């Protein structure tokens, strides 16, 4: 039987061999940043605008890369082997950890791109709070994408379904992360001001991981 570490190693080997997920999200980020640059030449972007742009890029980048989590298994014909040789818990944990790693790589890349291309406007005033809310947001998006990707993996219109289903579920997270990012760009000691948003993010992540864990086996086997 595959353990969750075995599922994770398999996905990492496939990613290193094909580089589909990383390449897709990096190209999406570059295109997004290029569009923003050419549409706002010489304009000063406020922290509220920058925070919204970062999370818009992260959301749609995640929908581009993380949607392949289970869809690729169905397309390659390996989903049946996973059902035979791995229990639902191992598959869920392996896929979740893989998606979290991919989402963290996407988040770090987005920060580097915005730091480089928007040097004049992008100034993080509280890096610890910024990184914490960034990590919590990445984990929440990865958790939602994992369970929804399993849900739509056998649907005919896989690519279009994930953003449609994920947006309503992720709306509380996107609102909280956008506000928390704005605060860390404006306030030097952001923990106090962003405390409410951080609590929302922690609660959201715990709730989504637990609900996904409970429901996954039914979705995966049926």
Distance from C-alpha of 118 to C-alpha of 112, rounded to nearest angstrom: 10
- Which token pair is 4? 């969750």
Residue bearing the bigger pLDDT, 190 or 139: 139
Domain of residue 143 covers 4-221
Cα–Cα distance between 37 and 29 in angstroms, integer?
12
Q: Which two tokens mark 14?
A: 């496939």
pLDDT in the model for residue 117: 85
Q: Which two tokens stand for residue 106?
A: 């996407």
Q: How many CA atoms lie within 13 A of 43 on its CB side?
A: 11
Count how many domains the chain has: 1
pLDDT at 217: 83
Q: Which pLDDT does position 159 carry in this prediction?
A: 58
* Residue 169 confidence (pLDDT) above 90: yes
Q: For 145-157, what is each residue's pLDDT tens digit?
A: 999 888 887 665 6
Do residues 69 and 143 lie in contact, with contact meaning Cβ atoms separated by under 8 Å?
Answer: no
What average pLDDT does the segment 207-220 reach? 89
């Amino acid at each position: 039987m595959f353990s969750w570490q075995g599922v994770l190693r398999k996905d990492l080997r496939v990613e290193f061999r094909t580089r589909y997920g990383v390449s897709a999200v990096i190209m999406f980020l570059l295109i997004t940043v290029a569009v923003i640059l050419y549409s706002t030449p010489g304009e000063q972007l406020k922290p509220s605008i920058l925070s919204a742009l970062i999370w818009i890029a992260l959301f749609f980048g995640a929908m581009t890369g993380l949607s392949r989590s289970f869809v690729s298994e169905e397309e390659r014909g390996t989903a049946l082997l996973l059902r035979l040789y791995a229990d639902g818990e191992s598959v869920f944990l392996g896929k979740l950890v893989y998606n979290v790693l991919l989402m963290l790589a996407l988040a770090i890349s987005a920060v580097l791109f915005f730091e480089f291309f928007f040097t004049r406007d992008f100034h993080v005033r509280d890096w610890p709070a910024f990184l914490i809310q960034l990590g919590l947001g990445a984990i929440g998006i990865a958790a939602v994408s994992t369970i929804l990707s399993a849900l739509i993996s056998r649907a005919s219109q896989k690519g279009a379904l994930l953003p449609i289903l994920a947006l309503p579920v992720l709306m509380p997270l996107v609102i909280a992360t956008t506000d928390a990012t704005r605060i860390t760009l404006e306030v030097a000691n952001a923990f106090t001001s962003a405390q409410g948003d951080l609590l929302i993010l922690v609660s959201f992540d715990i709730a989504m991981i637990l609900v996904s864990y409970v429901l996954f086996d039914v979705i995966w086997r049926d």
